[in-house]
Amino acid sequence: MDSLNLIFDENLIKSKLYDCDSPLRISLKDNFFTSSAVLFSIVPYKEKPYELILIHRSNRGTRHRGEMSFPGGKFEINNDKSLKDTALRETEEEIGVPRKNIKILGCLDDFPTMTKYIITPFVAIIDQNQKLIKEDREVQKILKIPIDFFLSKKSFREHAVDIDGNKFPIFYFNYINKENGKKYTIWGATAYMIVTFIEELYGFTLSNLGLERFKLDKIKDLKEYIKYRNQITKKF
């Protein structure tokens, strides 16, 4: 796709998103899942394609250690009045951007994950001059990745994984950072959110498999998913 079409257009992006409290948006609630939120962070420019801010998580924890994601985390009842608070708080904690410097444009549908989280994605703008400061205990690296990288069929990869007799699509992108020459693999729910955003915004389909991610009830019926992690990631 011509990069001239990828100059940031706030009105276009807002028109393709839901208001976060819209009844048309898929909003999921289930006590079996952990409520969480991420900030789908966009850095706009006037003369080149906008970028997405992603983080390479530290190796702490058990379920998402070492993965690439948007800033975000689980809802904390003692700290957050809403999932919007969660996204803003986690963004400030993980990459040092105060909430007053974040402009939320809208939301994508909620995403249930195989690790039993429901993610609410808040799409937002962070200024190009905003200093980003990583929280060392949780973040190994902050990356700004141009949107045209994700729109390239050369960058996109997919395969189907058999989970309890059902085919489940795995999307991923292998991004080589010019700064250190290191490969960063964006996969799982993060890759799926990016692919969904691209499809909604540009009508551009990346996947050829035609498979859908499992719905909430299907995920609830599955056995422990984390055991499939090594099987999946070794194919990257």
Integer Cα distance of 201 and 190 in angstroms: 17
User: Domain of 156: which CATH number?
Assistant: 3.90.79.10
The 10s digit of each residue's pLDDT in 71-114 is: 999 999 999 999 999 999 999 999 999 999 999 999 999 999 98
More confident residue, 63 or 100: 100
Alpha-carbon distances, residue 166 vs 211, 214, 220 (angstroms): 10, 9, 14
Question: How do strand 68-69 and strand 51-57 relate by DSSP bridges?
Answer: antiparallel
pLDDT at 132 over 60: yes
**Is 121:52 a contact under the CB 8 Å cutoff?**
no
The 10s digit of each residue's pLDDT in 185-228 is: 999 999 999 999 999 999 989 999 988 888 888 888 776 665 66
Return the HEC string of 132-181. Answer: CCCCCCCEEEEEEEEHHHHCCCCCEEEEEEEECCEEEEEEEEEEECCCCC
For the beta carbon of residue 192, count every other beta carbon within 10 angstroms.
Answer: 19
Residue type at 15? S
pLDDT at 137 over 60: yes
Number of domains in the chain: 1
Integer Cα distance of 45 and 30 in angstroms: 39
Residue-range definition of the domain harbouring residue 49: 3-233
Q: What pLDDT, on the 0 to 100 scale, is given for residue 182?
A: 95
Residue type at 39? L
More confident residue, 4 or 191: 191
